[in-house]
């Protein structure tokens, strides 16, 4: 009898050991859950990327912006194409079909007339030529703005794509009534537009799998009605646009990062509308980022400018807080500061940009970057970023001036050797942590979960089962040892 019991408990012991271990498939799912972060995002609660061609400031005028001391990620030579970030405009990636400013049809003009196979082959060549390293782990942004991938959103100047699509159907079916022509044209356009955008993103991921691939200005909120509604402006995305974003799930599934925009036009300058405008655009992007994989967030990197659009008029301190600060507090992975050749057009422009970076932008970026990092460590075990508990609140991730101060950079030689962390003097007090806990919660990085991002992915779901198995394992082990004596 004892031999039979001994055999029984031995069997039970090894069964519990086997059941208590995650399978290879479970381990793989735990490791792969979520989107792989590019190297410039890994371990960073918030990342700022410089995407402006300012290398001429140094080369031509000997004016260095010294962006590195403010924790701003830059490409070598501060260009649009490099190891940290590459942007593809519509003439730089494959054979993108579009209608030029003179009405000429380029590469077929509309997606359904384009050569998708030829386009994808050319796109592969262009990606290999522009991103030479196969181990690329930067941001890969596709900037296609000539048409939108949904028929219903091609209004205004973009209506020419709907007109050309209907003309194409009429030529094929001259006897069809207008309503049938429009229906078929929409069907053909939407399908082909999806094919071009979806498969181009897939090609990018297959060629440079470590990159964070996505389309500039997606998702959009279409809350541009501040000039029309005036004091009644809420900043909210129209319901119909949220529904249309839901219909673009195929695009979010084929993206490994989202790149919405919060560019501010001059009429918004220092108005109460700025925060509303930015808040709802970032909020919508964060909503969309959670759609492809429940429990996981696609990295959201928000495009912004340090000037009001089409000017060299720099953002006010308040507007900087309501744009960059708002982006940080909603849990975006980072911000991309885009600029054009106007920044380096003259020595005066370079000096103006440098002064703004040194005196206003840089110190503020150090402030929010340090605050985001400290909050991540205090609340999220450094495995997640802090986001507002209540989206409508005005809480910001700012250093408490009673606990911290930011030291201005010294001489040029010291500036280049310094790190942004060296500029922050002070320590987090209990009251600071308490304030953070009241206003913020954790949004875990890929591979982590739990209220404080303290658990590797999969551990939480299996914890109850593991407790039961552990208890059985202990009982079984004790009985086994007892009977073996």
Q: What does each C-alpha distance from 301 to 23, 84, 384 come to in angstroms?
A: 35, 13, 16
Residue ranges of alpha helices (H) inside 21-84 are 24-32, 55-61
Q: Of 55, 78, 145, 160, which is the active-site residue? A: 145
Q: Is 131 helix (H, G, I), strand (E, B) or coil?
A: coil
Cis peptide before 219 (omega within 30 of 0): yes
Q: How far apart are CA 108 and CA 252, in angstroms?
A: 26
Contact 192, 111 (CB under 8 A): yes
Q: How far apart are CA 339 and CA 324, in angstroms?
A: 15
Q: Is 349 helix (H, G, I), strand (E, B) or coil?
A: helix
- Residue of 83, 81, 47, 50 whose CA lies nearest to 66: 50
Q: How far apart are CA 127 and CA 88, in angstroms?
A: 9
Structure tokens given for 334: 């980072």
- DSSP structural state of residue 237: P
Q: Is residue 146 flagged as an active site residue?
A: no
Burial of residue 242 (CB within 10 Å: 0-12, 13-18, 19+) is middle
Structure tokens given for 102: 């003179």
H or E stretch covering 388: strand 384-388
- Residue of 139, 155, 137 whose CA lies nearest to 147: 155
- DSSP structural state of residue 361: I
Q: Which residues have a catalytic role annotated?
A: 145
């Amino acid at each position: 009898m004892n031999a039979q019991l001994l055999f029984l408990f031995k069997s039970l012991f090894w069964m519990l050991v086997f059941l208590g271990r995650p399978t290879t498939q479970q381990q793989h799912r735990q490791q792969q859950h979520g989107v792989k972060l590019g190297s410039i995002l890994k371990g960073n609660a918030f990342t700022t990327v410089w995407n402006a061609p300012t290398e001429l400031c140094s080369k031509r005028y000997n004016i260095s912006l010294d962006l590195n001391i403010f924790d701003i990620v830059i490409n070598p030579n501060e260009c649009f194409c490099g190891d940290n970030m590459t942007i593809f405009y519509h003439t730089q990636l494959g054979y993108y079909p579009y209608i030029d400013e003179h009405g000429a049809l380029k590469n077929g003009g509309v997606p359904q007339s384009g050569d998708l196979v030829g386009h994808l082959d050319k796109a592969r060549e262009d990606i290999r030529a522009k991103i030479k390293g196969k181990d690329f782990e930067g941001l890969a942004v596709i900037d296609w703005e000539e048409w939108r991938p949904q028929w219903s959103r091609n209004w205004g100047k973009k209506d020419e794509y709907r007109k050309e699509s209907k003309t194409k159907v009429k030529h094929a079916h001259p006897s069809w009534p207008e309503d049938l022509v429009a229906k078929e044209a929409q069907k053909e356009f939407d399908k082909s537009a999806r094919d071009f955008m979806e498969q181009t993103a897939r090609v990018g991921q297959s060629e440079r799998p470590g990159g964070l691939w996505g389309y500039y200005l997606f998702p959009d909120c279409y809350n541009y009605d501040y000039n029309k509604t005036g004091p009644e402006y809420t900043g909210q995305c129209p319901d119909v646009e949220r529904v249309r974003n839901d219909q673009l799930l195929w695009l979010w599934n084929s993206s490994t990062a989202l790149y919405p925009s919060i560019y501010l036009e001059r009429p918004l300058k220092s108005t109460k509308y700025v925060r509303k405008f930015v808040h709802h655009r970032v909020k919508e992007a964060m909503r969309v980022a959670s759609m492809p994989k429940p429990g996981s967030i696609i990295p959201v990197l928000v495009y912004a400018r340090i000037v009001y659009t089409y000017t060299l008029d720099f953002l006010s301190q308040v507007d900087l807080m309501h744009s960059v600060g708002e982006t940080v507090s909603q849990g975006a992975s980072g911000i991309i500061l885009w600029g054009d050749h106007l920044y380096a057009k003259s020595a005066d422009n370079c000096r103006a940009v440098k002064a703004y970076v040194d005196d206003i932008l840089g110190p503020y970026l150090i402030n929010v970057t340090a605050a985001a990092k400290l909050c991540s460590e205090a609340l999220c075990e450094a495995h997640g970023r802090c986001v507002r508990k209540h989206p409508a609140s005005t809480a910001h991730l700012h250093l408490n001036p009673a606990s911290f101060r930011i030291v201005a950079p010294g001489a040029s030689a010291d500036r280049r050797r310094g790190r942004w962390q060296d500029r922050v003097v002070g320590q987090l007090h209990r009251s600071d942590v308490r304030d953070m806990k009241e206003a913020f919660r954790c949004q875990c990085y890929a591979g982590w979960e739990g209220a404080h991002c303290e658990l590797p992915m999969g551990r939480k779901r299996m914890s109850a089962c593991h407790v039961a198995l552990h208890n059985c394992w202990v009982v079984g082990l004790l009985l086994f040892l007892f009977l073996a004596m």
